[in-house]
Each structure stands twice: as structure tokens, then as C-alpha cells.
């Protein structure tokens, strides 16, 4: 009798232990990273993580009747030399971190005086010592500048960078708003990082 009870108790304890081990393993198991991307032939983790080193950001400004939206990731200075080192001169830069920075227009606009149809574009920059090249590329969704193709550029123009107050985190802002009930409305899109401000003028006609 005692032997039977002992065997039943031992069986119960073994089953309970196995269940607990499996349950604990499932709880402690880290989620699998799916949809891995390729960068220079090497797997990099999916960026749908809870925390990014360079946080995502988005800003929308209505200019006249046109919504202009910038979607980007915000790298930090973190004591590093940015221009000419972390971001090399004379090379295409994603204008942020992670995915290429994306700019979208709900209607046709003028960007630094050049007509740009409604739609989404990747925004790239090429920093130079004196002037920077601004690029709107027709492939709006791409990872960084690793697959950048100059043949897909819709627009290129040069802008002189300006000195600004220090910004630890890269930021895009809108300033110099000009609002009219009729005619041209405009604003300046600013890329701000470290001690550089790069202004880009966007105009929208409400007629």
C-alpha cells in the first residue's frame, strides 16, 4: 500500500517537474528574430525591436493644403566626430539611421524651386566641405544607402549648410512658415544634427 502511494507520488512529482521545466523554458526563451535583412552579405536583425539605439521619429507639417511628412531615425552624437568621420564627406548618406529617411508629399510641391510630384521619396544627402547635395530618390523604402541607385534619383540640388546650436540627436523641423489663403505657401525643412543646420525650402500652391 505504502509502495503504491510512493510510486504515485513520485510519478506526480516527475510529471510536475517536466511541465515546469518546459513552461519555464518557454517563458525564458527569447523571441526568434524574423525577416532578417542582408547588409554586405551578412544577416542583421529585424529592426522591429522594442528599443532602437537610433529611435524612430516622424513629423508632418501642412503647407497650404499639402501635408509634408518626414519619417526617419535619430542617431545621437555620443561624443563622436560626426562630419567627415561617422558621416564621411563626398559619400551618399541616408540622412538619418537605419532605413533611408523618407519624405512624402500629399500634393505636388516645389522643393528649392524644383517641381516634385505628389508621392514618397527617399531623402539622401551627400555632405561636402562647402555645399551639400540633397537627393530625392524614387525608391522610397530602402535600407540605408546600401542599395542606393543614382539612376533612380528624381532630383538633385546643392544647399549650403549653416552653423546651429548643438543638437545631440538628429532632428527634422519646419520653420519660416509663410501662410496665404491664395497663392504660394511655404516652409523651410531643417535637418539639425551636431552643429549643422541644412535648410530646404518647400512651396505649395493652393490655386
Model pTM score: 0.75
How many of the other CB atoms lie within 10 Å of CB of 88?
Answer: 12
- Bridge partners for 110 per DSSP: 115, 203
Gap between the Cα atoms of 146 and 177, Å rounded: 35
Q: What is the pLDDT of residues 122-178, one digit of tens each?
A: 999 999 999 999 999 999 999 989 999 999 999 999 999 999 999 999 999 999 999
Q: What is the pLDDT of residues 6-42, one digit of tens each?
A: 444 444 444 444 444 444 444 444 333 334 445 445 4
> In residues, how long is the chain?
207
Q: Where are the domains of the chain?
A: 54-205
DSSP state of 193: E
How many of the other CB atoms lie within 10 Å of CB of 90?
Answer: 10
Amino acid at each position: 500500500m505504502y509502495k503504491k502511494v510512493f510510486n504515485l507520488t513520485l510519478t506526480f512529482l516527475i510529471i510536475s517537474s517536466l511541465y515546469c521545466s518546459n513552461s519555464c523554458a518557454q517563458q525564458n526563451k527569447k523571441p526568434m528574430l524574423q525577416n532578417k535583412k542582408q547588409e554586405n552579405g551578412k544577416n542583421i536583425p529585424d529592426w522591429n525591436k522594442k528599443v532602437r539605439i537610433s529611435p524612430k521619429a516622424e513629423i508632418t507639417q501642412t503647407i497650404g493644403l499639402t501635408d509634408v511628412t518626414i519619417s526617419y531615425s535619430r542617431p545621437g552624437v555620443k561624443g563622436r566626430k560626426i562630419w567627415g568621420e561617422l558621416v564621411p564627406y563626398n559619400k551618399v548618406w541616408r540622412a538619418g539611421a537605419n532605413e533611408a529617411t523618407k519624405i512624402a508629399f500629399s500634393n505636388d510641391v516645389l522643393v528649392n524651386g524644383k517641381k516634385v510630384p505628389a508621392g514618397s521619396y527617399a531623402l539622401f544627402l551627400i555632405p561636402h566641405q562647402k555645399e551639400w547635395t540633397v537627393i530625392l530618390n524614387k525608391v522610397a523604402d530602402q535600407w540605408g544607402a546600401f542599395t542606393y541607385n543614382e539612376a533612380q534619383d528624381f532630383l538633385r540640388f546643392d544647399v549650403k549648410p549653416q552653423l546651429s546650436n548643438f543638437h545631440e540627436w538628429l532632428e527634422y523641423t519646419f520653420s519660416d512658415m509663410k501662410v496665404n489663403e491664395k497663392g504660394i505657401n511655404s516652409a523651410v525643412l531643417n535637418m539639425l544634427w551636431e552643429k549643422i543646420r541644412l535648410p530646404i525650402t518647400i512651396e505649395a500652391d493652393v490655386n
